[in-house]
Amino acid sequence: LPLKHCASGTHEVWDRLYIVEFSNTISFGSWAATGTETKTDIDTNFERVTVTDNAAYTKRFARVRVIAN
């Protein structure tokens, strides 16, 4: 399950922290940042990050938590 965004999975960008998390359910406490990140520079200001879920389940959920600093 690839998930793409223009920031890094657990890095601060513009005073915000982006965390990509995966889960088998949408239950509270079931989310984990277990994906594999691949980064590609777009230009000097941006990078594209693809986060791939490594789990071998047929049904998964993904979310991006954004924390403002």
Mind listing the pLDDT tens digit for each residue in 25-67?
988 989 998 888 888 888 887 788 888 888 888 788 999 888 7
The CA-based angle 30-34-40, given to 5 degrees, is: 140
Mind listing the pLDDT tens digit for each residue in 1-16?
444 444 444 554 556 7
**Alpha-carbon dihedral 58, 9, 65, 2, rounded to 10 degrees:** -30
pTM equals 0.66
